[in-house]
Amino acid sequence: MNEGRLDRLRAARRTPHVALQRLNVLRSKDANTLVCIFEGGDDVTFFDTVFRMVLQGHLSFHPLVVDGKDQVLGLHRLIHSSTVHDKSKQRYFVDNDFDGLRGAPLSSDIYCTPTYSIENLLVSSVILSALLKGEFRCSDETGIDEVRKVVDRFESLLSDFIEHFRKANLRIYFARKNARKIVNIEERLGRYVKCKIDAIVSVHDDNLLSTLIPIEPTPDEVSLQGVELEFSKLSPQHSWRGKFFFAFFRQFLTLLKEDRCSQAPTLFSQRVSISFNPSGDIVRVLTGMIEIPPCMRKFVEDMCPAPAIKEQ
């Protein structure tokens, strides 16, 4: 089977009507459970952890991952235009990205992240500090100095990282604001930069961005500059693409572990063997350390009857 046909088959599986069919199958097995509809698998891990933190386990739900914001919003539209589906038994979760609800009306059963995506919430100096004190064993009398030193290094590298990824985010912002198709966003951090424990080095030039983030039709430099002013008003760590920040954070934690376990560490006073694995499934671990945004907390609380939350 040729690649073009494979792409068409994959696209055919990613439609709101296919998502509705999958929801109907789920409903045939359990007509009453609350179904939470997500863009991707990491969203399930993230929100399941948040549900437990906010509601102390008093929520029974089943996730349905439908592969993308268009499918989540499209399924919501189909359900709310239907006369046969119970609209009260679903909740929908989408990333803000650069385009919010993409013109869909606000609805009490849709939650849109206050940041670009959930990944933005998982990257912070506060979380890093907690990891250092716990997983990285900076818990003795020298730990306070090590934590300060590592957090300072992280914040310095983060500033450099933001500069390196400004034009990449500008391209995505332009595409979202102008309804241009992005063929595929290159996710591998190493195609953009090389991260070291003391520096971030670009491995591409500006011309290569058109292949890393290909937009159809391809915008010219004047078009990109046309959105520069409004783009510059965004808070990078809050509003730029979260997957880039998360990839950087994981890479930094990996380098940090290597340094902590080395015979001659540069950021720590001595070698300590640790088992924490930044390359593993750490979304749940990091989610447990976030400060839950007020809008997220309220949405989750509203999903569960108040008496159930108060039960001990």
The 3-class secondary structure across the chain, one letter per residue, is CCHHHHHHHHHHHCCHHHHHHHHHHHHHHCCCCEEEEECCHHHHHHHHHHHHHHHCCCCCEEEEECCCHHHHHHHHHHHHCCCCCCHHHEEEEECCCCCCCCCCCCCCCEEECCCCCHHHHCCCHHHHHHHHHCCCCCCCCCHHHHHHHHHHHHHHHHHHHHHHCHHHHHHHHHHHHCCCEECCCCCCHHHCEEECCCCEEECCCHHHHHHHCCEECCCCHHHHHCCHHHHCCCCHHHHCCHHHHHHHHHHHHHHHHHHHCCCCCCCCCCCCCCCCCCCCCCHHHHHCCCCCCHHHHHHHHHCCCHHHHHCC
Are 155 and 226 in a shared domain? yes
Mean pLDDT throughout 287-292?
96
Residues 247 and 140 in one domain: yes
Range of the domain at 73: 3-114+293-310
- Whether residues 235 and 306 fall in one domain: no
Residue 3's pLDDT band, with cuts at 50, 70 and 90, is very low
Residues 156 and 281 in one domain: yes
Cα 75–Cα 81–Cα 86 angle in degrees, nearest 5: 80
Closest CA to 242 of 185, 183, 310: 185
Same domain, 210 and 68: no
Based on the fold, state whether residues 169 and 229 are members of the same structural domain: yes
Tokens describing residue 4: 């073009």
Q: Which amino acid is at 15?
A: T
Same domain assignment for residues 95 and 124: no
Shared domain check, 275 and 188: yes
Contacts of 90 (CB under 8 A, 6+ apart): 23, 34, 35, 36, 37, 76, 79, 109
- Reported as a single tens digit per residue, the pLDDT across 30-44 is 999 999 999 999 999
How many domains are contained in the chain? 2
pLDDT digits (tens, 9 = 90+) for 63-112: 999 999 999 999 999 999 988 888 999 999 999 999 999 989 999 999 99
The pLDDT value given to residue 311? 43
d(CA 92, CA 281): 24
Tokens, residue 89: 């038994």
Q: Are 108 and 130 part of one and the same domain?
A: no
Whole-angstrom distance, CA of residue 207 vs CA of residue 218: 12
Distance, in Å, from the CA atom of 2 to the CA atom of 5, rounded to the nearest integer, reads: 6
Q: Does residue 239 sit in the same domain as residue 208?
A: yes
The pLDDT value recorded for residue 13 is 63
pLDDT given for residue 7 in this prediction: 47
- What pLDDT, on a 0 to 100 scale, did the predictor assign at position 305? 64
Query: How many Cα atoms within 13 Å fall on the side-chain side of residue 30?
Result: 11
User: Quick one: 254 and 163 in the same domain?
Assistant: yes
Say if residues 114 and 97 touch (Cβ distance below 8 Å). no
Are 281 and 147 members of one domain?
Answer: yes
pLDDT of residue 236: 98
For 198-234, write each residue's pLDDT tens digit.
Answer: 999 999 887 889 999 999 999 999 999 999 999 999 9
Sorting pLDDT into bands at 50, 70 and 90, what band is 290? very high
What mean pLDDT is predicted for residues 134-152? 94
